[in-house]
Amino acid sequence: MSSKAALKRIQLIPELQKKYNIFTHIENSVAEKVLPDDSNDSNAPLSHLVTGIKDNIVTYDMPTTCGSKILLDYISPFDATCVKLLRDAGALLVGKTNLDEFGMGSAGTHSHFGPVRNPLFPNENVVAGGSSSGSAAAVAAGAVDFALGTDTGGSVRLPAAYTSILGFKPSYGRISRYGVIAYAQSLDTVGILAKDLSLLRKVFRVLDKYDEKDPTSLDNELRAAISNRCIKRNTYKIGIPREFIQGSLTKELAKELTEPLSNFLKKLLQQGHELYPVSIPSTKFALPIYFTISPAEAASNLARYDGIRYGTRSEKNDLEDGTFFSSTRDAFGQVVKDRLVLGNYSLCSETFKDSYIRAQKLRVKIIDEFDSIFRFPNLLTGSEGNAYGLDLILGLTNDGLPQSIDYYNEKKISSPTNEYKNDIFVTPMSLAGLPVISFPLLKGKPLGIQIAGQYGDDSTVLDACSLLV
C-alpha cells in the first residue's frame, strides 16, 4: 500500500461515519502519521495500512468505552498487546469502532453511540450484525483496510457475513487477550476482519504470538508442536454437520440459498475435495450452553464497574433501594442488565449445579465430539486425532438475512431470545475454541459460509479458504 492510498481512505472517514455510524472515536491526527513511501519504516509489514480497533480493546491514546455510558471517560494507561503489535508493524490506527455494549448483541444495535448501519444497503437502515458491527462496517465501507474485532460467540463472523466480507476467529489463545476488556474470558478471542485474504493472513502473522501477560496465551512449546503436525494439502476432507445447515433456517434464507449453496458444493467436489455429511449432536445445546456460561462470566467480570474501581460514578446517592452502587450501575444498557441478572442467577447456590455446572459438562461433551471427527489431534485436550477423520467442517454463518434496524428492535423487544437465535451456527466453535473463518457465499450478498478446523489448526483453515473463495 502507498501513502497516497492511506490518505485517500483517511479522507473518506468523516463522510462514512455520518452515513454508517462506524466509530465511537476518530483519531484526527492520524493523517500526520502517514510516512512518505520512501522512508525506511515504510518497509514494516503493515505500513500504510489503515485499521480500526473494536472499542473494547484498550489504547493508551484514545478512549475505550465498550460502547457503554459507564466507560465514557475511560482512557487506558497502556495499549493492548494486539494494538502494540499492530503499531510496531506500522499500521495506522484511525479510531475505535462501534459495538454492542460490552460485546453483548448480534446486530450492532445495543451501543450507547447508537446503531451501526450496514454499508451493503446504503439507502436503507439495515443492521450490520454484531457485536463487532463497527469493525465490519468500516471494512465493508472502505474506511479501513482491515479491522480488529472480538468473537466471544460469533461477533466477528456474524457481522462479516452480514456485510459480505471475511471474518476470522483464530483458535482461542493464539492472539493475546491482554488489554481486551473481558466479557466472557473463557471464550473472548480477538479476530480479524478484511476483504482480502492475503492481507488478513499478513495481519494474523503479526498478531499470532505468545504473550506472557496473558495467562491463557498458547505457549511456544505448544505452538511449535502444532506447527510440526500441520500438513499442507491441496484437497481436504470436509464434513458438513447437519446441525449447521438445517437448524432453524428461515424460509427466506432457504430460498436465497438453495442454488448458490449447491453450486458452491459442486465446485468443491470438482476441485477434488471430499464432502461428508456428519453429525455433532451436542451442538444442538450450544445456544443454552453459551447463554449460561457467557452471562455467568460477564456477571463476575462486570462487577468491577462500581464507580470506584472502574466506571463513571453517579452523582446520585449510591445506596438507593438498599442496594450498593445501583445508581452508578444504572448506566448499563438494558441488554447488559439482563445478562447480569441471568449470569448471577446461574451462579447462585440454588441453581449453580443445574445450570452453570451442567453447561460446563455439556461444553466438554461438544469438545469431545469435535475431537472425535477431526484428523488433527487436539493438543490441548490430548486427543490423538482420528486417522480417518476430517480436516475441516463447513456450514452456514447466518440463519437469516439482516433485517432493518426498526424491525430488529421491535422483534427483539418481544423477547431477548429472538436475538440469541442469530448465534445458532456460530457459538459451537466458540465453545470449543476452534479456528474458523466466515466468507461470503456470493460477493456483495449478506450470506456467510464458515469453515472451521481442529483446535490450533488455523493454518489449514486459512489455506483452505484461499482455495474456496
- Decide: is 459 part of the binding site for ligand GLN (CB under 6 A): no
Question: Within positions 292 to 351, which residues make up the interface with ligand GLN, using CB under 6 A?
Answer: 294
Distance of CA 83 to the CA centre of its chain: 16
**Position among 115, 153, 343, 435 found at the interface with ligand GLN (CB under 6 A):** 153
From 54, 96, 237, 412, the catalytic residue: 54
- Decide: is 159 part of the binding site for ligand GLN (CB under 6 A): no
**Position among 67, 90, 95, 103 found at the interface with ligand GLN (CB under 6 A):** 103
DSSP reduced 3-state for 377: coil
Alpha-carbon distance of 371 to 374, in angstroms, equals 6
Residue 54 annotated among the catalytic residues of the structure = yes
How far from each other are the two terminal CA atoms of the chain, in whole angstroms?
23
Alpha-carbon distance of 228 to 233, in angstroms, equals 14
Could you tell me if 400 and 429 are in contact, meaning their C-beta atoms sit under 8 angstroms apart?
no
Would you mind telling me the total number of residues written for the chain in this entry?
Answer: 469
Residue 135 annotated among the catalytic residues of the structure = no
Q: Which range binds ligand GLN by CB under 6 A, 10-18, 146-154, 214-222, 271-279?
A: 146-154
Residue with the three cell numbers 443445574: 354
Alpha-carbon distance of 439 to 455, in angstroms, equals 19
Q: Which range binds ligand GLN by CB under 6 A, 64-72, 147-155, 253-261, 402-410?
A: 147-155
Alpha-carbon distance of 262 to 279, in angstroms, equals 19
Q: Which range binds ligand GLN by CB under 6 A, 41-49, 153-161, 208-216, 353-361?
A: 153-161
- Decide: is 101 part of the binding site for ligand GLN (CB under 6 A): no
- Decide: is 398 part of the binding site for ligand GLN (CB under 6 A): no
The residue (of 139 and 182) whose beta carbon lies closer to ligand GLN is 182
Residue 131 annotated among the catalytic residues of the structure = yes
Minimum Å distance from CB 104 to ligand GLN? 4
Q: Provide CB contacts within 8 A for 460, sequence distance 6+.
A: 230, 233, 236, 376, 391, 392, 453, 454
- Decide: is 191 part of the binding site for ligand GLN (CB under 6 A): no
Q: Which three cell numbers stand for residue 341?
A: 441478572
From 68, 131, 132, 282, the catalytic residue: 131
**Position among 65, 81, 131, 283 found at the interface with ligand GLN (CB under 6 A):** 131
Residue 318 exposed, middle or buried by CB count within 10 Å (0-12, 13-18, 19+) = middle
Q: Which three cell numbers stand for residue 175?
A: 492472539
- Decide: is 391 part of the binding site for ligand GLN (CB under 6 A): no
* Residues at the interface with ligand GLN (CB under 6 A): 103-106, 131, 150-155, 183, 294, 423
Report the catalytic residues: 54, 131, 155
